[in-house]
Chain A
């Protein structure tokens, strides 16, 4: 029984950590849907956003104001990216765009460090990384308050975004743009506004993911490597699917934790570092389009 409980704990911790991957992956998906670009810089955006946020707090801005200012800043970053990077590369191959966004990632990481320094910052959200007594009493499970908060925040954010894109006019516009940008703009959908909205949304998602991670492990450069794990998430979930990003994140989160706890010790641990990528390879071999992606038919 205790073994089963322990297993459940491991899975729950994995799932909650996985929501973080989902969040980063979600940012990827949003931008992929709006401008068919694999935005490799999404991980750097996480780092940039949370470092900016901490920087604004250090300037004396209150929590809420710092949050708003950071989001505005992320909107600006998105606008500049759209204007200066993506637009000039409009008809280039996917690979070229991808390389350009790798460059963009480096720019953002460098700018963030130049502006706010490289030392590890502490970010205190007022939620400790300790188990919640109530859950221990009721279920006998040890679940960290921070993990749970992160999970809940991520879930509500994902829910909010889904509603926004499903039921609002903007969301409809976005779906039209994702389908055919040319046609969408010719029937009067304001392309620029939608792009700005999407980039800002991706910025919000990045900021929240960064805050949650930063609260646990400190705001530091390692966030970029963690965010890289959103890539296998996307392969599992499919690049254009919001539910895919969520489920993919949960799968990666749970699997890597379970593997680390049960198999890791036999190999000296730290298999979390590569397990998601190997898992992604297996998905690539058996279902290259991802769980929720559309089947790719090779046409000539």
Chain B
């Protein structure tokens, strides 16, 4: 906790960590990982879902608002991006992406309004409305799907400055860029006065108000920023992972998944979003490979996915009982123990 800042608000450790991560993700991974499977089935969905988890983290982990509708905002972002690229000629990809986030943010503000009156499970039910409503709206109004009757629309290619990014590695690099920028911004907000205001509202709203924090502005701001992150994540998810746009891909199950990522990863930490997303994504892969390699497919795939559900559920209960701050905190504790030795 030494505060020897050397660049802006960052300590030397922060910068070293950042450089290491950049070297790994931009040099080591592209050079060593050759198989497309790793990019398109692991790294790309991981980064997309981690970005959505940051969104969930902002509203739930930082601002303390129990929202359950991340997938709805992701759907809004994904279809906004599709329509922007479709209908606005020559729109740069990153502009479309940012606008998709803003459109999702508008939905976030709208469906965040109940948070001004209620909290806890009441708020959760209100945010479920956004989940069901947004997905329904996209599904039922043909305009959003460009009147495609097949129900599955192929996403456009990502084109940046005339170059198209279509191979797994290329798409991975685009995602790394977006996720890095947005993660840095999220860290800045979380560490700065913005994040402090969110946490104050989370920990004791009446005291926060008495210190001059407007609950209305702070909560809606958290909802908007959260939805922005989910929207961008949804667009990336559709364009690089699903490679198609279908409303059912953004159903309530995905919202639960993102909720679990945040809870297991650790509420109120940005790193928790990445850890949680990795776990929720990798655990089934691990389970499947055990099923295939150890039991040689003797266990039915549906049984495996049931087991996976049970494990997630049990882990959530265990973490709630023993370490409500999740894996990020667990990791911190382990590191501290090693340092002490």
Contacts and interface: CB of A to CB of B under 8 A. Distances in A.
A and B touching (C-beta < 8 Å)?
A: yes
Interface of A: 38, 40, 84-85, 88-89, 92, 94-100, 102-111, 113-114, 117-118, 225, 228, 231-232, 234-235, 239, 267-271, 273-274, 277-278, 280-281, 284-285, 288, 298, 300
A194 B124 CA distance: 29
A99 B320 contact: yes
B312 A106 contact: yes
A107 B310 contact: yes
Interface string B285-305: 000000000000000001101
Given A98-B121, A114-B303, A231-B121, A107 B126 contact: no
Given A113-B302, A284-B118, A104 B313 contact: yes
A278 B127 CA distance: 10
B284 interface: no
Contacts of A96: 320, 324
Contacts of B133: 274, 277-278
A248 B297 CA distance: 47
Question: Could you tell me the dominant secondary structure of chain A's interface residues?
Answer: helix
Given A98-B120, A231-B121, A92 B320 contact: yes
B309 A107 contact: yes
A40 B66 CA distance: 13
B317 A100 contact: yes
Interface string B105-135: 0000000001001101110111011001100
Interface of B: 64, 66, 114, 117-118, 120-122, 124-126, 128-129, 132-133, 136, 139-141, 206, 252, 256, 259, 263, 302-303, 305-317, 320-321, 324
Nearest to B129: A277
A103 B314 contact: yes
Contacts of A231: 121, 124-125, 128
Given A103-B314, A284-B114, 15 more contacts: A40-B121, A88-B321, A98-B120, A99-B263, A103-B313, A107-B313, A114-B307, A118-B302, A235-B125, A269-B140, A274-B132, A277-B128, A277-B129, A280-B125, A284-B118
A106 B316 contact: yes
Greatest chain A CB density within 10 A among B114, B136, B140, B263 is at B136
Nearest to B321: A88
Contacts, number: 133
A273 B136 contact: yes
A189 B120 CA distance: 30
Question: Could you tell me the dominant secondary structure of chain B's interface residues?
Answer: helix
B126 A284 contact: yes
B315 A103 contact: yes
Nearest to B69: A277
Greatest chain B CB density within 10 A among A106, A107, A111, A234 is at A106
A129 to B, nearest CB: 26
A105 B320 CA distance: 14
A88 B317 CA distance: 10
A110 B118 contact: no
Nearest to B304: A114
B310 to A, nearest CB: 4
Contacts of B316: 99-100, 102-103, 106
Contact of B312 (A99, A103, A298): A103
A285 B117 contact: yes
B140 to A, nearest CB: 4
B122 A284 contact: yes
Contact of A95 (B66, B129, B307, B317): B66
Contacts of B118: 284, 288
Contacts of A270: 136, 139-140
Greatest chain B CB density within 10 A among A40, A225, A277, A298 is at A277
Contacts of A88: 321
Nearest to A279: B129
B68 to A, nearest CB: 9
Contacts of A111: 306, 310
B302 A110 contact: no
B66 A277 contact: no
17 contacts: A97-B320, A100-B316, A103-B312, A103-B314, A104-B313, A104-B317, A106-B316, A107-B314, A107-B317, A114-B310, A225-B252, A234-B125, A268-B140, A273-B132, A277-B128, A278-B129, A284-B114
Nearest to B121: A38
Contacts of A288: 117-118, 122
Contacts of B206: 298, 300
A300 to B, nearest CB: 6
Given A103-B315, A106-B309, A110-B309, A228 B320 contact: no
B310 A106 contact: yes
Contact of A103 (B64, B140, B320): B320
A84 to B, nearest CB: 8
A108 B141 CA distance: 36
A194 B15 CA distance: 57
A117 B124 CA distance: 30
Nearest to B312: A106
A281 B320 contact: no
B202 to A, nearest CB: 10
B25 to A, nearest CB: 31
Contacts of A95: 64, 66, 120
Given A107-B309, A113-B306, A228 B317 contact: no
Contact of A100 (B140, B256, B321): B321
A30 to B, nearest CB: 16
Nearest to B309: A110
A216 B263 CA distance: 36
